[in-house]
Amino acid sequence: MKNKILLATAVAVACGAPLSAMAGADIYGQLRYSINSADPDTVGSDSTLSGEDNVSLFGLKAEAKGDSVTAFAHLQTGAPADGNGGTAFDQRFYFGGLKGDFGTVAYGRMTNAYKMPGFKLDPFYNLSHVGANGSLGTGGATYGLSGATNGFTDNALQYTSPSMSGLTFNVGLYIDDGSEDDHGTNIGVKYSGKDYHVGVQFASNDTTAATVPGVLVDGDAVRIDGAYKGSNWSVGFSFENVDEVAAQAATPFIPGDPTTTPPTPPTLPQPAVEAVDVDYMYLVGKFNASKDTQLVLSVGSVSDDGANGLEGSGTNLGVFQTIAPKTQVYASYSTASLDTSDADPSVFSVGAIHKF
């Protein structure tokens, strides 16, 4: 408790907030692990059986409340349960800011406002599945969501307004250290009703650097998303149009095969490369069969006439069973049919998620 008070005090002093009230600090974490049977469906590659960490993590949230303003900070690191090479933690994000009647402003390395709706929509995010880049992976977004739904954004300055009759808007500036005038930007709006929401996000990179991950240099991306929640079910969708680079399909990652490497956000070239418009569609439905059992189905598609090597469709099925207040076990099946390479990668997983 003493450490919590000291940390909250430090955050408040750093942000200049009067300490009329103190919310303290919260430590949290997730242990995420699965056993997978994966088939990359490529020539010379066989099915594999492996145990994989699915982005286990450790985090710290701190708040200090003033009379009208709350200062906050949020630090999160990866804490892999295996394959960490002797390193306890991996970099994820660290940001801080202020919130009050004026809204919320934050600065640091964070999930940008374009990525966030896709991240919230995907129940298979950071599980073993066919990922956004069309290869087998142990984290990130599902096939049908773009690469801009992965990664974190450095030097991010974001503002989100308070709700005004259900309507909120956000703006973001993503600073390019190598350019004096050109930077990445984001603007969005969201309307929330009693049981539903719809939103639009627009992100754009400058002419010198890809400060928004997953979007081409001097390119942009648009996402339209929404969701509806019933009594024991919900549905959601995301449609994206993203400027990307014409390329072949990514080399598949085979869990348990040391000659392959996990997928990472694509390395984006300088603006000499011609961009292609890629359309991504993702639909998801959830049904609560009981208080502790949830059934999930998602379908995704990528459409670009084969220009980026990822055109095709994908499906994910999952059953999630809560066995303790913060512990789930699950079984999932993920597959995609890639038109360009005629590959049909798939992975069947049985795993657990334990939160504290």
- pLDDT (tens digit per residue) in 130-171: 999 999 899 999 999 999 999 999 999 999 999 999 999 999
Q: Which residues contact 185 (CB under 8 A, 6 or more apart)?
A: 171, 172, 173, 174, 203, 204
- Given its phi and psi angles, is residue 74 left (phi above 0), alpha (psi -120 to 50 degrees) or beta? beta
Domains, the chain: 2-355 (2.40.160.10)
Q: Which residues contact 295 (CB under 8 A, 6 or more apart)?
A: 286, 287, 289, 318, 319
Q: Which residues contact 82 (CB under 8 A, 6 or more apart)?
A: 33, 51, 52, 53
Tokens 């998801």 sit at which residue?
Answer: 284
* Beta bridge partners of residue 328, listed in sequence order: 322, 353
Task: Tell me what pLDDT residue 208 has.
Answer: 81
Task: Tell me what pLDDT residue 207 has.
Answer: 83
pLDDT digits (tens, 9 = 90+) for 74-116: 999 999 988 766 677 888 999 999 999 999 999 999 999 999 9
Stretches where the chain sits below pLDDT 50 are 1-22, 248-253, 258-259, 264-272
Task: Tell me what pLDDT residue 86 has.
Answer: 67
Tokens of 8: 């909250």
Q: Are 274 and 243 in contact (CB under 8 A)?
A: no
Task: Tell me what pLDDT residue 169 has.
Answer: 98
Distance separating alpha carbons of residues 330 and 231, to the nearest angstrom? 22
Task: Tell me what pLDDT residue 298 has.
Answer: 98
Distance separating alpha carbons of residues 288 and 230, to the nearest angstrom? 10
Q: Which residues of 262-296 are buried (b: 16+ CB within 10 A; e: fewer)?
A: ebebbebeeeeeebbebebbbbbebeeeeeeebeb
1, amino acid identity: M
Q: Which residues contact 348 (CB under 8 A, 6 or more apart)?
A: 36, 37, 38, 331, 332, 333
Tokens of 206: 């400058």
CA distances from 30 to 130, 292, 326 (A): 22, 19, 9
Q: State the CB neighbour count (10 A cutoff) for residue 244.
A: 24
Q: Are 276 and 245 in contact (CB under 8 A)?
A: yes
